[in-house]
Amino acid sequence: MAIVQHEFTKKIIEILNCYFPSQGNAILNYSELLQYLNIKTKAANRGSKSRAGLANHYAIYVLVEDYLNKKFHLQNNYEDYEGVQFSVLLRRQRELPFGSKLQNHALNHRLNEEFKKYFPTSVYVPIIRDVKTNRYWLNENLIKIIVDYTQINIAQAVKDIIDAYITARQEAFDEFIVYCQEMLVIQQQELTRAIEFIRGLLRPNIDARVFEIVSYAILKEYYADQHIYWGWSSDVLNAEYLTLYKTGRTNANDGGIDFVMKPLGRFFQVTETIDVGKYFLDIDKVQRYPITFVVKTEQPIQSILNKLMEQATMRYKVKAIVRRYIEAVEEVINIPELMNRFDSVLERGRGTVVIEEIVLQSRVEFNPLLLDKEVK
DNA sequence: CCCAGCATTTTATGCTGTAT
DNA sequence: ATACAGCATAAAATGCTGGG
């Protein structure tokens, strides 16, 4: 059977390799239980938007944990074990992260049913239960497997894998959601505290969506103070302030231009790093529209530009083309520069406006997602 | 205490018209 | 051919409730 490959699969194999050096891959191939877990951990790196679905994971987890606690992986008498009481298992499930509202279904029925669905030909189901005594066991046949003529016990690895999955989910949840919630209530805080919070967001490892919103709010207000004069003849001039527009929802906008400025028509792109090839694919053939990059880094602007120059030189050699590359980068704004501009906005007493904008944008972006989490 | 039916909420998948 | 937004539908996950 072909094994589904996804982000977390690597992690699973890595954990297996810890216990059984260089056999990780083979073990995954032999173990239906591990394959099941592999299928059920697809959501690990899918970001904070998707729901975890931990019920079946935890059903396995609490049984494996009981198995390990009582050292059955070291002895050979699980056959004689009286089994675990249902309420003990359920209580433990509910102690685990995101498990507070779990119910009986996984243990009673659903884990086994789902397992059968994925492995219709398997002789075993993961959970064994005695309806008379209400006791539960793990199916040891799925825990003790034979690889290369040797019997191994994967109980500890199974527990570690589920732990790793929980950690991955929790990190995504914490980092992201906490910021979003904070951004939604930020107005109610004292202005100085709110400002400090925003400063704290301006760092390289912040979530990209959060960074985009914060940079937009700061830049919008920064440019709002500047105006230009234009007109159809030199004696009739209009004064117009620079306005920055967001071109779409952060989530929905992959690859597109993030902000546009009127009336100058500047394009802004928020990125982690400037990858020349990505934005100026065919620059050698066509003239490219200049872009201002807002880069989520603290590296000095000059060194970003140098790196850019290097990349371009390596790629194209010809000086004229390299120059066109650099010309297509209208401006680079890094985190320190963003911070400067934020300061100058604050000096004009416009901090509140920036915060209002952040709250507004956060609502548009994150509200549906927060409502869900708020219940937890 | 334990269990399962039914309801509700979320997510995955398929279909279709529009546009490139 | 390919890509995809918008919608409809199927399937899964989760929650409530009441009975043995």
Q: How far is the CA of A167 from the C1' of B12 (A)?
A: 25
Strand B reaches within 7 A of the A75 CB: no
Q: How far is the CA of A82 from the C1' of B16 (A)?
A: 58
Alpha helices in A75-189 (DSSP H): 86-95, 105, 111-118, 155-185
CA dist., res. A7 & res. A10, Å (int): 6
* Closest nucleotide to A368: CA versus each C1': B10
Which pLDDT score is estimated for A375? Answer: 28
* A214: pLDDT strictly greater than 90: no
- Where do the domains of chain A lie? 7-172, 189-375
pLDDT band for position A220 (cuts 50, 70, 90): very high
Which pLDDT score is estimated for A137? Answer: 87
Strand B reaches within 7 A of the A323 CB: no
Strand B reaches within 7 A of the A251 CB: no
SS3 A271: strand
Structure-model confidence comparison of residues A323 and A237, the more confident one:
A237
Report chain B positions within 7 A of protein CB atoms. 1-5, 9-12
Kindly report which amino acid residue has its CA closest to the C1' atom of nucleotide B12: A50
Which pLDDT score is estimated for A372? Answer: 38
Q: How far is the CA of A90 from the C1' of B3 (A)?
A: 13
CA distances from A128 to A57, A83, A137, A368 (A): 16, 9, 5, 40
CA dist., res. A56 & res. A107, Å (int): 8
Cα A337 to chain center, whole Å? Answer: 26
Torsion angles phi and psi, residue A144, rounded to 5: -95, 115
Other C-beta atoms lying within 10 Å of the C-beta of residue A38: 21
Which pLDDT score is estimated for A192? Answer: 87
The reply to whether the predicted model has a pTM over 0.75 is no
Structure-model confidence comparison of residues A193 and A172, the more confident one:
A193
The share of chain A scoring above pLDDT 90, in percent, equals 18
**Weakest mean pLDDT among A41-45, A166-170, A216-220:** A41-45
Torsion angles phi and psi, residue A135, rounded to 5: -110, 155
